[in-house]
Amino acid sequence: MNQYDAIVIGAGHNGLTNGAYLAKAGLKVAVLERNPYIGGATVSRELHKGWWYSNCSYVSSLLRPEITRDLELPRHGLQVVSFGGGATFMRNGDHFGNYSDHDRHYREMARHSKRDANAYDRYAADTSLQTKLIRPYLMRTPPDPTSMKPKDLRDLLEFARSFMDLGEEKLLDTIKFWTASVGDYLNEYFETDVIKAHMAGSGIIGTALGVYSPGTAYVLLHHYMGDVDGNVGAWGFARGGMGAIADALSKAFQSYGGEIICDANVDEIIVKNGRAAGVALKDGTEYKAPIVVSNLDPKRTFLDITNPSDLPKDVLKKARNFKIRGSSGKLNIALDGLPVFNGLDPRNRLMAGDLHFSDSLERQERAYDDWKAGTWSKDPYLDMMIPSLTDPTMAPPGKHMMSVFVQYAPPKVEGREWTDEDKDGFEKSVIDQISNYSPNFRDLILHCETRTPREIEAEVGLTEGNIFMGELTFDQLLFNRPFPGYAQYRSPIKGMYMCSSGTHPGGGVMAAPGANAAREILADLKKPNTVPGGYADD
């Protein structure tokens, strides 16, 4: 009996969240997963005996607390543990550290520049203001600006009012902010290279843009939007790795009667009389359901698993033009001990945070230049973490697991497919970069998993290995995500929906797209809503 009320394609965190809310509303739901394991990019894998890798996504801050609480994820085993610290190591042997205490952070900044240290308060207030504008919309469907429906009009009016309430000066600042580059934005506050570079990283992570590309200021915001416990911008690890999030979501989903089917590679969404009717797998198996939800990115959803003859040309065109460029790679490394970095006692708590080596905007921009030229960066920007300094379950005692997010890595190398030699070259550039600052690093490496966009796309199914399933620039945000006219999780085919990070509010392990999509589906089915709203943001 392959008959369901709803089928969700892809057991990543958004697919599982979507399935959980549909099942909670009483629907008979199956989530289909291509891989033999669930999680998509939200996984923990023991790729070296005794070492667990969060080998795709690696931090959890955006995961909506409303969803965690509502689906009782802690009861289903999820434990998110905050981490602190972080530093950018400098070429001159010094470093810039990140302290959670305001006045300690002031002192650290003042070590580099008293003026910057003081300007930080102005920067923090201005950035928080922008965060406050967007956060209320995370757990909501974006209004359709062309719609005359009362709900859309009401939401648009509210949205407009929150901007108009800012007053002229702040409104102008805001308009500028949403289109500015992170480099230009930071230049308005700070004079010190390393301070700017440390902060600019959040503006480029996961994005095929440079620190001086317009639109990257918003990407910075996207990283600041998360909250671990109301602490805006604070970050955490899922204990046991990111797979713990998928595991808890799957248990919540199953507790509502949901069914997960692995090794189920969807070939095509079956459409009958203009309505979704189910899916056909590559092995020929068919599952029937009047509701089909795709958790694949918009390109794969409309160009791979939907028959073009079932879609209007307009949507095919928009899907083709959707910007989803590969920009990053990842190294996951098992270490025999804790590496020592120049200028920092390894016992320093800064080591437990995000570590970087690009000490100027100039170096970050040059790293992007390499991407434009079609190669990986020779002086890469790294977002490096050692989760085993916070979570003792990731590696044996005294040993460590290191996650190195690398930017930039092009989707194709000088226009051709990645080869194994390219992959080795990419890996070497990263290991060299770290070794430049850590004399004992190279000797500690026990195992290294290297993932270029080629591996990420092949294993996880993210087009070009783009971690956000589509760039987070204003032309692809809110009512533009994934594309204008289709930002409310519905597709042009009746009964077919989207719930991936390619929809509002975008990527990061947030689970909001999955939840918001479920709310719309339940509304169409005239079922009671099971999805919570967002917490008031004040």
Partner 1 sequence: MSDVSRDTMLLTTPFHSRVEAMCDLNDWGNWMGYTTPNAYFDIELEYFAVRSTTGVFDLSPMNKYRVTGPDAQRYLDRLITRDVGKIGVDRVGYAIWCDDNGQVMDDGTIFRLGEQDYRICSYQRADDWLAWNTLGFDVTIENESEAVAGLAVQGPTSCTVLTLLGCTDLNQLKPFGIAHYSFEGRPLMVSRTGFTGDLGYEVWVPPESAEALWDQLFELGRDYLIKPIGSHALELARIEAGFLQANVDFMPAEEVVRVGRTRSPFELGLGWLVDFKKPLFNGRSALLKEQEKGSRYRFAMLDVEGNKPAEHSFILKGDKQVGTVTSAAWCPTAKANVAYAQIEMPHGAVGDELVAEIYYQRELHWTRLLAPCKVIDAPIFKSPKRWQTPAPPH
Site of interaction with partner 1 (CB under 8 A): 65, 68-69, 73-74, 79-84, 100-101, 104, 228-231, 234, 239, 347, 349, 389-393, 397-398, 535-536, 538
Give whichever of 500 and 530 is closer to partner 1, judged by the CB atom.
Answer: 530
Q: How far is the CB of 65 from partner 1 (least distance, A)?
A: 5
- What is d(CA 66, CA 514) in angstroms, rounded to the nearest whole number? 13
Q: How far is the CB of 24 from partner 1 (least distance, A)?
A: 17
Give whichever of 80 and 311 is closer to partner 1, judged by the CB atom.
Answer: 80
Give whichever of 162 and 435 is closer to partner 1, judged by the CB atom.
Answer: 162
Give whichever of 78 and 493 is closer to partner 1, judged by the CB atom.
Answer: 78
Taking CA atoms, 506 is separated from 207, 307, 488, in Å, by 12, 25, 13
Beta strands in 224-274 (DSSP E): 227-228, 231-232, 235-238, 259-261, 266-272
- What is d(CA 365, CA 308) in angstroms, rounded to the nearest whole number? 39
DSSP string spanning 348-388?
SGGGGS-EE---SHHHHHHHHHHHHTTS--SS-EEEEE-GG
Q: How far is the CB of 286 from partner 1 (least distance, A)?
A: 39
- What is d(CA 507, CA 509) in angstroms, rounded to the nearest whole number? 7
Give whichever of 296 and 350 is closer to partner 1, judged by the CB atom.
Answer: 350
Please tell me whether the peptide bond between 482 and the residue prior to it is cis, using omega within 30 degrees of 0: yes
Q: How far is the CB of 389 from partner 1 (least distance, A)?
A: 7
- What is d(CA 116, CA 25) in angstroms, rounded to the nearest whole number? 52
**Residue 502: both structure tokens together:** 């390619």
**Residue 313: both structure tokens together:** 């040309």
**Residue 492: both structure tokens together:** 């042009």
Q: How far is the CB of 129 from partner 1 (least distance, A)?
A: 12
For the chain, state the CA radius of gyration. 22
User: Token match 């409303």: residue?
Assistant: 66
**Residue 178: both structure tokens together:** 């949403």
Give whichever of 1 and 125 is closer to partner 1, judged by the CB atom.
Answer: 125
Give whichever of 301 and 390 is closer to partner 1, judged by the CB atom.
Answer: 390
In sequence order, what are the beta bridge partners of 382?
Answer: 406
Q: How far is the CB of 90 from partner 1 (least distance, A)?
A: 23
Give whichever of 391 and 422 is closer to partner 1, judged by the CB atom.
Answer: 391
- What is d(CA 467, CA 277) in angstroms, rounded to the nearest whole number? 30
Q: How far is the CB of 230 from partner 1 (least distance, A)?
A: 5
Find the DSSP H helices in 95-191: 102-112, 114-134, 150-164, 168-179, 182-187
Q: Are 32 and 8 in contact (CB under 8 A)?
A: yes
Q: How far is the CB of 83 from partner 1 (least distance, A)?
A: 7
Q: How far is the CB of 75 from partner 1 (least distance, A)?
A: 8
How open is the CA angle 338-344-347, to the nearest 5 degrees?
Answer: 50
Q: How far is the CB of 245 from partner 1 (least distance, A)?
A: 12
Q: Residue 313, CB half-sphere, CA atoms under 13 Å: how many?
A: 0
Q: Which of 199, 237, 183 is nearest to 60 (CA)?
A: 237
Give whichever of 13 and 363 is closer to partner 1, judged by the CB atom.
Answer: 13
Give whichever of 124 and 156 is closer to partner 1, judged by the CB atom.
Answer: 124
Q: How far is the CB of 390 from partner 1 (least distance, A)?
A: 7
Give whichever of 53 and 418 is closer to partner 1, judged by the CB atom.
Answer: 53
C-alpha dihedral (116, 120, 121, 127), degrees to nearest 10? 150
**Residue 510: both structure tokens together:** 């947030």
Give whichever of 239 and 412 is closer to partner 1, judged by the CB atom.
Answer: 239
Taking CA atoms, 151 is separated from 142, 144, 522, in Å, by 10, 9, 16
Q: How far is the CB of 15 from partner 1 (least distance, A)?
A: 21
